Chain A
Amino acid sequence: MILFGLLIVPLIAGPLSFLLRKRSAMEFVNLSAFTILLGLAIALGARVLWSGPVSLWNGFFYADALSALVVLLSAFVAFVCSIYAIGYFRRDEAEGVFLENDEPGETLVEQKLREYYTLTPLFVFSLVLVALANNLGILWVAIEGATLSSVFLVMFYGRDTSLEAAWKYAIIGGVGLSMALFGTILTYYSAHQILETETLSGLNWSVLIGHAAQFDKATMRLAFILILLGYGTKAGIAPMHTWKPDAYSEAPIPAAAILATGVLNCSIYGLIRFYILTAKCLGPQFSSHLLIIFGLLSVAVAVPFILVQKNFRRLLAYSSIEHSGIMVLALGWGGVLGILGMLLHMTFHSVTKPLLFFCAGNVQQHMKTDLFSKAKSGLIHSMPVTGGAFLLATLAVTGSPPFSLFQSEFTILRAAFVSGYSVLGYVFMAFLIAIFAGFLAHCANLVLGADPNLPRDDTDGWKKYSVVGLVAVIVILGFWIPAPLFKLIQSATAIVMGG
């Protein structure tokens, strides 16, 4: 019942917004749908902790602790973004942003808002479906669905650069996903010889995991490489990351925040499901080496671009490449510490990243630019709430104590030393320090400094609630993780470890 609710709520909310047309009605539908979704996701987490995996329709949908965690994170991000979106788009509308590129008229604003409020619930529906689909083919269909529903969100503002970003996003994503589909087919093939079934359950993860040890090894090896390249493209790990800075800097802020956390988590989730199968079939060694190479490469690629970055929205994209690299790296280092560190990192990153996007969005709407050089420093004077939150989020996302990302990065680093990759551990640490220095220098320059005497701008309630609320969550999580959440992460770790 919970699973059905989780899927049907966003699926209804999208078309409903499309039919309602009125701005206030669409805002209400989105906000209430995502509030219900968050409630259901929490209920699912509790249910999985209480009585084990839940399934629906003969195991067509299936949720264990790992799925429940990913659904919870997607729902959380969708919820905070729906609050922020209300303030963000009202501001856009008041400033006539939508009218810039086209002839003036009431209808264009309405049409644009309708586009956002219809596509976002469908986008979130795909993300929830990714985590709840038991069938690995349906998982692929859902990730492709998430890509297709978000292409128009990337293209939202209709500028030349938005078209370019959307084209790159669609084509690179399409090629990546076709590799992932090939990997899925090969996995089915290697299982097919053992299971001797042509029924639907032949691709069900919960069925496959029981037989993974007997799969054809050579096929599984090729399948995992294709899956890593495919879902890695969607997660934005190097060298398939090139779409990321463009898409993140062109999409409207709430959509970009969902892309940076929801899509990232879901692609990593797809990778983890195949990782578990591959580890069971070939032993952890094989996948581990590949994951470490790609993960470390992503962190390394992010370093120079963060150090010299001129645009604060692209800075966030490179930070996202870094974090997906860290998660992949942690999966590669493996062991209880590595996996636990990765899942903690995924959780904390999903809470922290939206705040950074919201702050960047506030600055952009205030200063009318996304370049550091054009935005006047001394943000703390004109936008005290945003400025303070921006600095706090910067410290949090670069992994400085006492914020929670420090704990997860520390756990991952310990995993590196425990599993015998101490040299790579030092290299990883050096990268993290460089990123910390670059990120903090950029943001401190923007936030601190003399008062530029700009008009004060921190008035909008919706934007303020979402920023302050997230700050509270981040500070609390830094000192105290709710026991049930930690329990959920621990059971998810056990699933990744042992299948």
Chain B
Amino acid sequence: MYFVPNPELGNKIIILMAALVLVLQIAAVGQRGIISSIRIFGVQSFLLAGIATVIAYFNKAEHVYVAAILTVLLKAVVLPRVLERLVEKIGIRREIEPLINVPLSILTAGGLTLLGYVVAASFYHPEETAGPAALGHNTLPVAIALFLIGFFVMVNRRKALTQVLGLLSLENGMFLAAISLTYGMPLVVDIGIFFDVLVAVMVLGILVFRIREAFDSMDVSKLRKLRE
């Protein structure tokens, strides 16, 4: 006897992990320390890789394994390490000061999650596709919520580095959308996107460092010389 993959089980695992991803995202909104925000991002990326692996296993889509491995390596190991080193180099110990206070921020994040469900419901038809092909389709609302909350974080936080983290969680939302809707983009595209994310973080990291040197602060609201 060998183990027969049960799609129902896969679906449960995926939903559990997607729920954890969402909870982490909302926790990140309420988080005040920069280091813990970075670690939350790392754990979240690890869970996304888990979802990708389950989908790859049940759909026998080998190329998604590659995407999962790349996600673990890049987003769960390399990027958090790079960002933490950047924080050490700049030497910020101060906490993040959001524009909107923490309870209200979390409430907003909850509202955005609801919005994600509404948007996803408008063009997604679960009854039309069934079986293993539909696996993970119901994580689309989570993906859209990640995307929207990422936007909110970028608007709400004034520190240059937290805006980079917001951009990265946008990216995570898109990765989830891509694997849950279509089992990942073609491999070449996936690799291209990962490469771009890596370079983008390097470029933004150098920028953060230079801004910190020039303005003696990471507060982007100090960048206001260029006006009409």
Interface residue B225 (Cβ < 8 Å from any Cβ of A)? yes
- Chain A residues 192-242 with CB under 8 Å of chain B are 192-193, 198-200, 202-203, 216, 218-219, 221-222
- Is the CB–CB distance between A189 and B181 below 8 Å? yes
Interface contact B225-A164, CB-CB below 8 Å = yes
The reply to whether B189 and A305 contact each other, CB–CB distance below 8 Å, is no
- Tell me the residues in window 150-186 of chain B with beta carbons closer than 8 Å to chain A beta carbons: 151, 154, 160, 163, 167, 170-171, 174, 177-178, 181-183, 185-186
Task: Tally inter-chain residue pairs, CB-CB below 8 A.
Answer: 128
- Contact for A199 among B160, B186, B196, B220, CB less than 8 A: B186
> Closest CB of chain A to B194's CB: distance in Å?
10
A161 cross-chain contacts in B, Cβ below 8 A = 225-226
- Assess the A163–B207 pair: CB atoms within 8 A: yes
Interface residues of A in 146-182 (CB under 8 A from B): 148, 151-152, 155, 158, 160-161, 163-168, 170-171, 174-175, 178, 181-182
* A164-B207 in contact given A185-B178, A216-B123 (Cβ < 8 Å): no
* B171 contact set on A, CB distance < 8 A: 178
Q: Complex formed: what's the CA distance from A11 to B174 in Å?
A: 29
A164 lies within 8 A of B193 (CB):
no
Contact of A167 among B119, B129, B160, B192 (CB under 8 A): B160
Pull 15 A–B residue pairs with CB atoms less than 8 Å apart, ordered by A. A135-B188, A137-B193, A138-B188, A161-B225, A164-B226, A168-B223, A170-B203, A174-B200, A178-B147, A185-B178, A186-B177, A188-B182, A198-B186, A218-B122, A245-B228
Q: Across the interface, do B186 and A203 meet the contact criterion of CB distance under 8 Å?
A: yes
B185 touches A137 (CB 8 A): yes
A166 near B207 (CB under 8 angstroms)?
Answer: yes
A151 to B204, CA, bound (A): 9
- In the bound assembly, the distance between CA atoms of A138 and B178 in angstroms comes to 15
Closest residue on chain B to residue A136 by CB atoms: B189
From the candidates A155, A174, A185, name the one contacting B181 in the complex (CB within 8 A).
A185
Interfacial residues, chain B to chain A (CB-CB below 8 A): 61, 63, 119, 122-123, 129, 147, 151, 154, 160, 163, 167, 170-171, 174, 177-178, 181-183, 185-189, 192-193, 195-196, 199-200, 203-204, 207, 210-211, 214-215, 220, 223-226, 228
**In the complex with contacts A181-B174, A198-B63, A148-B203 CB distance below 8 A:** yes
Report B-chain residues with C-beta under 8 Å of the C-beta of A200.
186-188
**Distance, CA A185 to CA B183, complexed state (A):** 11
Which residue of chain B lies nearest to A191 when distances are taken between CB atoms in the complex? B182
Question: Which 5 A/B pairs are nearest by Cβ-Cβ distance?
Answer: A137-B189, A141-B192, A218-B123, A164-B223, A200-B186
Chain A residues with CB under 8 Å of chain B are 135, 137-138, 140-141, 144-145, 148, 151-152, 155, 158, 160-161, 163-168, 170-171, 174-175, 178, 181-182, 185-186, 188-189, 192-193, 198-200, 202-203, 216, 218-219, 221-222, 245-246, 249-250, 305, 308, 314
Give the distance in Å from the alpha carbon of A140 to the alpha carbon of B224 in the complex.
30
Closest to B191 in A: A141
The interface residues of chain B lying within 8 Å CB-to-CB of A246 are 226
B185 touching A145, Cβ below 8 Å: no
Least CB separation from B128: chain A residue: A193
Interchain CA distance A88-B134 in the complex, whole Å: 59
* Bound Cα distance A203, B188 (Å): 11
Contact A145 B196 (CB under 8 A): yes
What CA separation (Å) do A188 and B61 show in the bound complex? Answer: 16
* New contact pairs (8) apart from A151-B207, A185-B181, A192-B181, CB-CB < 8 Å: A137-B185, A141-B193, A141-B195, A175-B167, A178-B171, A185-B182, A192-B182, A198-B186
Quick check: B186 and A171 within 8 Å, CB to CB? no
Contact across chains for A188 and B160 when beta carbons are under 8 A apart: no
CB proximity of A322 to chain B, nearest CB, Å: 16
Given known contacts A135-B186, A135-B188, A202-B186, A160 and B215 CB-to-CB distance under 8 angstroms: yes
